[in-house]
Amino acid sequence: MIYRFVFTTFFARMDPEKAHTLVFKLIAAVGRVPVLNGIIQGALAPYLRDGGVTVFGRRVPAPFGLAGGFDKNAEAIRGLTMMGFGFIEIGTVTAHAQPGNDKPRMWREIPIGGVRNRMGFNNEGAAAAAERLRDLRSTKSGRAVFVGANIGKTKVTPAAEAAGDYATSASLLAPWADYLVVNVSSPNTPGLRDLQSVDALRPILVAVREAADRATEAAGRPRLPLLVKIAPDLADDDVDAVADLALELGLDGVVAVNTTINHDLGEGGLSGRPLLPRGLAVVRRLRARLGEDPVIIGVGGITTPADARAYLDAGANLTQGYTAFIYEGPFWAARINKELAR
């Protein structure tokens, strides 16, 4: 109730992107203070105890994590872990730094618990994110955090050169991540969703797989799990086609779903509560098509522990959220993971 009062009287009156930046900097700063880090993690331990799950041969502290889009540059992983997320997915990261689309580019849809954005992969580039992940992994506590890296195409890179662009990011990030996600489903980079077609997607995934394998082998690290992230707006037949391609190429899994353009609220992709029904439907379809082994990370519309549980019941191994973090407050993830642990 305290957070909702603060949100209504303060954050809701701010520009959404400015509010995000303010909160993000605070979380990052708190994560850099060892004393606070220890106190908060100790307080949250009961929320995460006995809630772990084994994925990709590793024990993840809890099944609900932070989706890509919040920490684009791997700057606040420690602070976000302190908030009770079981794992963190950074990005979307592109091979080259880019400013993203012109502002304004983020809008709250408070009555429906949603957010629209057309950010356009604003980030500092793969080299900067990789350097921060390298620093994180230099400590024992940093190596214990489960981190995924979400990569996308640089806007100025022609579609014909997309495979090389993604491979550049993969080679830089693979030695420091626990899994890699190829994002071809954001609606905010022109032509990106066209890369979800099987013919366009296959060479990208092959190039990323090869680049990641070379990088991890050179670093003396094990093979890195590779997943692809898809949009909720794909037709069912296209969802099946991506699943079949994942099986053909031996991918480790699929992340479902990204934001939707199936709305009449204005420009940008919509995230939040309205995505839940379609997200669950896509996860059920993927699990039926993929079989038992590939990992599915379910994301889209999760607000309550029951929403996260619905994704797990639909066939997801892990779940993620982001939008409701804005509306529910700093320990939202901890509450969900505590309920899932029951």
Tokens representing 12 are 């809701």
What is the DSSP code (8-state) at residue 67? P
Please give the distance of CA 220 from its chain centroid, rounded to a whole number: 26
E runs forming strands in 24-178: 53-55, 58-60, 64-66, 88-93, 106-109, 114-117, 147-151
In the annotated binding site for substrate, the residues are 72, 117-121, 183, 188, 258-259
Q: Which of 138, 186, 197, 271 is catalytic?
A: 186
Please say whether the dihedral angle defined by the alpha carbons of residues 189, 23, 318 and 36, taken in this order, is positive or negative. positive
Please say whether the dihedral angle defined by the alpha carbons of residues 15, 92, 116 and 299, taken in this order, is positive or negative. negative
Which amino acid appears at position 304 of this protein? T
Please say whether the dihedral angle defined by the alpha carbons of residues 196, 202, 204 and 208, taken in this order, is positive or negative. positive
CB 247 within 8 A of CB 294: yes
Tokens representing 205 are 């995934």
Centre a 10 Å sphere on the Cβ of residue 160 and count the other Cβ atoms it contains. Answer: 8
CB 119 within 8 A of CB 178: no
- Using alpha carbons, list the distances in angstroms from residue 2 to 7, 65, 84, 160, 332: 9, 23, 18, 51, 13
- Using alpha carbons, list the distances in angstroms from residue 164 to 99, 129, 195: 21, 18, 14
Query: Whole-angstrom Cα distance, residue 62 to residue 85?
Result: 7
In the annotated binding site, the residues are 72, 92, 117-121, 150, 183, 188, 229, 257-259, 272, 301, 322-323
Tokens representing 214 are 């070379």
CB 186 within 8 A of CB 232: no
Instruction: Determine whether 186 is an active site residue.
Output: yes
DSSP per position, 219-263: HT-PPPPEEEEE-TTS-HHHHHHHHHHHHHHT--EEEE---B---
Residues marked active site are found at: 186
